[in-house]
C-alpha cells in the first residue's frame, strides 16, 4: 500500500473489525446474526477496489476473523509449555497471519474475476471447503454453525454445515443488494423472495423433521469427566492415582450399558493398563457393561526411526473387542511439522503426545452394547466429510476429547457446537466425553439432552438411542453443493462487470 489515504486506512480498520465480529456469531457468544453482518461489511468494503486491494483487505479481514476465533491457540501454547506470553503471542500471531492468507486469496479472486453476489457467495463456500482439507485442514469457524439453534438448522441434514453457511452469506449479500435496488421494485421483490423461500418452506412444514428412525431399546450411558490437570497427566508417578480416580468415579449403584472415558484418559499403553484395570474390567464384564477409553497405542514398525509407531486411540476394555486410531492429527499438538528444526525450542514441541502417527483411513466401527459406534477423537469431529463417511453404517456417534488444552477460552464451547452439528447432519445420537468439559449427550436434532458442569470432576449419565437410515447429506455429502457452487461460479464469472482493474482502490 503506497501512500494510503485516510479512506483506505478506514477501510482496512473496518475489514479487521468485520472479521473480528464473525466468530461472535458462534459459541459461546451465539449472536448468530453477526455472521451475516460481518459478511455484509466485507462485501461492501470490497466494492470498487482493485484486485491488489482486494487481497490486502481480505487478509485484514482474516486477521480479525482468526485473531478472534482461534485466540485459544495462545492459551494452549502459553499455559502448557515454558513459552513466555510474548513468544506464545508471537507464535499465535504468525498462525493467524498464515490462516488469513486464505481470505487474501479469496479477496483477490473475487475482485479480479467476479464482483457480484453470486461469485462472492460461491467463493465463500469454496474456501470453507478448502479449509476442510488443505494442509491437512483446519475446519473451524464455519459460519453455518451459528444457525444451529435457529429454525434454519433443519437444513443441515440436507447439505451439512456448508449449506447453512451458504444461506448466511447469500442472505447477507442479497440484503445489501436489496437496499441498492429499492428504486427497482421488481428486483427488490425478487431478492426478498429468494431470501424468504427457506423460511417459507419451514413455515409450511415442507422440510422433514427427521430423516432417521430409532431402532431397539435405549442405551444407558455413563461418561466420566475426571478433570485431571494437563501438567499431572503424563507424569509417570501419577498413573495409578489417575486410573484409580477414573475407577472410583465409574463405580456406583446405577448400572450403565456403556461406560466412556475420554481422550487419553489412560496415559500409558494397553498392556500395562490392562494389568492395573483387570479387577475393574472383570466387574464390568459380569455386569454386562461395555467400556471404551482413550489411550495411546504402540505398534512395531521397522520403517519408523525408533522401530515403533504411536497412535492416539480408542480401545474397548470390556464388553467387546475393538480399537480405533485417530486419522486427523493436531499440528504441533500431536505431530510437529518441521520436527528437526522445532524440537527443543520450547517444551510445547516436546510434549509426550507429539509423536503420534496417522491411523488407517479404513478402520472398522466399534461394536459395544449392541451398537455400531462411529468413533472420533477430539479434532476429528470438526471434519464434516470424515464424520459423514465414517458414520454411514453406524447407528451411534462417539467423540472423546481433552479440552484441558484450551483452558477457559472459547474453544470448548466451539468444539461442542461443532459436535452438535455432526449429530444433526447425520441424524444420530452423539456421545461426547471430555476430560474437563464440555461432556454432553446430543440428540439427532442437535439438542443437548444431558451435560455436566465444566472444570470439575463429574459423571454424566443419560440414555441414547440407536438410529437407522441416512440423511441426504450423509448419503450424498458435499457433492450436490459443489455442483451448485460450480454453477454459481460460472454464472458469476460470465455476469461479472468489466473494467475491473480500472477501478480505484489502493
Instruction: Give the catalytic positions in this structure.
Output: 263, 326, 378
Cell numbers at 271, concatenated: 498392556
Name the DSSP letter for residue 270: H
**Rounded to the nearest 5 degrees, what angle is found at the Cα of 421, between the Cα atoms of 416 and 427?**
125
> How far apart are alpha carbons 219 and 15 in whole angstroms?
49
Cell numbers at 131, concatenated: 479449509
- Rg of the Cα trace of the chain? 24
Cell numbers at 275, concatenated: 494389568
CB 420 within 8 A of CB 451: no
Residues 6+ apart with CB under 8 A from 4: 12, 506
**Rounded to the nearest 5 degrees, what angle is found at the Cα of 98, between the Cα atoms of 136 and 19?**
105
Of 264, 156, 216, 155, which is closest to residue 396 (Cα–Cα)? 216
Tell me the residue ranges of DSSP E strands in 94-211: none
Cell numbers at 479, concatenated: 457433492
> How far apart are alpha carbons 364 and 392 in whole angstroms?
12
> How far apart are alpha carbons 444 and 395 in whole angstroms?
11
Cell 471447503: give the residue: 129
- Tell me the CA end-to-end span of the chain in Å, nearest whole number: 6
> How far apart are alpha carbons 211 and 223 in whole angstroms?
27
Amino acid at each position: 500500500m503506497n501512500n494510503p489515504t485516510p479512506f483506505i486506512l478506514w477501510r482496512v480498520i473496518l475489514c479487521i473489525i468485520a472479521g473480528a465480529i464473525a466468530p461472535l456469531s458462534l459459541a459461546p457468544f451465539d449472536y448468530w446474526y453477526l455472521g451475516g453482518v460481518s459478511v455484509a461489511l466485507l462485501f461492501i468494503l470490497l466494492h470498487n477496489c482493485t484486485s491488489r486491494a482486494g487481497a490486502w483487505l481480505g487478509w485484514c479481514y482474516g486477521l480479525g476473523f482468526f485473531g478472534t476465533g482461534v485466540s485459544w491457540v495462545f492459551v494452549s501454547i502459553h499455559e502448557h509449555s515454558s513459552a513466555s506470553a510474548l513468544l506464545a503471542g508471537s507464535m499465535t500471531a504468525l498462525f493467524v497471519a498464515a490462516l488469513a492468507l486464505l481470505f487474501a486469496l479469496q479477496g483477490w479472486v473475487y475482485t479480479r474475476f467476479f464482483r457480484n453476489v453470486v461469485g462472492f457467495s460461491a467463493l465463500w463456500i469454496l474456501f470453507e471447503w478448502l479449509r476442510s482439507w488443505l494442509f491437512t485442514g483446519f475446519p473451524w469457524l464455519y459460519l453455518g454453525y451459528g444457525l444451529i439453534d435457529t429454525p434454519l438448522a433443519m437444513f443441515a441434514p440436507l447439505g451439512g454445515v456448508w449449506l447453512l453457511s451458504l444461506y448466511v452469506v447469500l442472505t447477507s449479500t442479497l440484503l445489501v443488494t436489496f437496499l441498492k435496488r429499492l428504486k427497482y421494485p421488481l428486483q427488490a421483490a425478487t431478492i426478498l423472495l429468494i431470501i424468504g423461500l427457506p423460511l417459507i418452506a419451514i413455515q409450511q412444514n415442507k422440510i422433514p423433521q427427521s430423516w432417521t428412525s430409532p431402532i431397539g431399546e435405549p442405551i444407558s450411558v455413563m461418561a466420566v469427566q475426571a478433570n485431571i490437570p494437563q501438567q499431572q497427566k503424563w507424569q509417570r508417578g501419577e498413573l495409578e492415582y489417575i486410573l484409580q480416580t477414573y475407577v472410583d468415579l465409574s463405580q456406583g449403584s446405577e448400572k450403565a450399558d456403556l461406560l466412556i472415558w475420554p481422550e487419553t484418559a489412560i496415559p500409558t499403553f494397553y498392556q500395562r493398563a490392562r494389568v492395573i484395570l483387570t479387577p475393574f474390567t472383570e466387574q464390568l464384564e459380569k455386569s454386562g457393561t461395555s467400556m471404551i477409553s482413550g489411550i495411546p497405542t504402540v505398534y512395531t514398525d521397522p520403517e519408523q526411526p525408533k522401530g515403533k509407531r504411536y497412535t492416539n486411540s480408542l480401545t474397548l476394555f470390556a464388553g467387546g473387542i475393538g480399537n480405533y486410531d485417530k486419522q486427523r492429527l493436531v499440528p504441533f499438538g500431536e505431530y510437529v511439522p518441521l520436527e528437526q528444526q522445532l524440537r527443543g525450542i520450547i517444551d510445547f514441541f516436546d510434549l509426550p503426545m507429539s509423536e503420534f502417527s496417522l491411523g488407517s483411513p479404513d478402520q472398522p466401527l466399534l461394536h459395544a452394547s449392541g451398537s455400531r459406534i462411529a468413533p472420533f477423537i477430539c479434532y476429528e469431529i470438526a471434519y464434516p466429510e470424515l464424520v459423514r463417511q465414517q458414520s454411514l453404517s453406524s447407528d451411534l456417534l462417539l467423540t472423546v476429547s481433552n479440552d484441558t488444552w484450551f483452558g477457559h477460552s472459547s474453544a470448548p464451547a466451539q468444539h461442542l457446537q461443532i459436535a452438535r452439528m455432526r449429530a444433526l447432519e447425520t441424524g444420530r445420537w452423539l456421545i461426547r466425553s471430555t476430560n474437563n468439559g464440555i461432556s454432553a449427550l446430543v440428540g439427532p436434532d442437535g439438542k443437548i439432552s444431558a451435560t455436566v458442569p465444566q472444570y470439575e470432576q463429574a459423571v454424566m449419565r443419560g440414555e441414547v438411542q440407536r438410529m437407522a437410515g441416512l440423511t441426504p447429506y450423509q448419503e450424498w455429502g458435499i457433492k450436490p453443493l459443489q455442483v451448485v457452487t460450480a454453477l454459481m461460479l460460472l454464472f458469476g464469472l460470465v455476469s461479472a462487470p468489466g473494467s475491473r482493474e480500472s477501478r480505484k482502490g489502493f
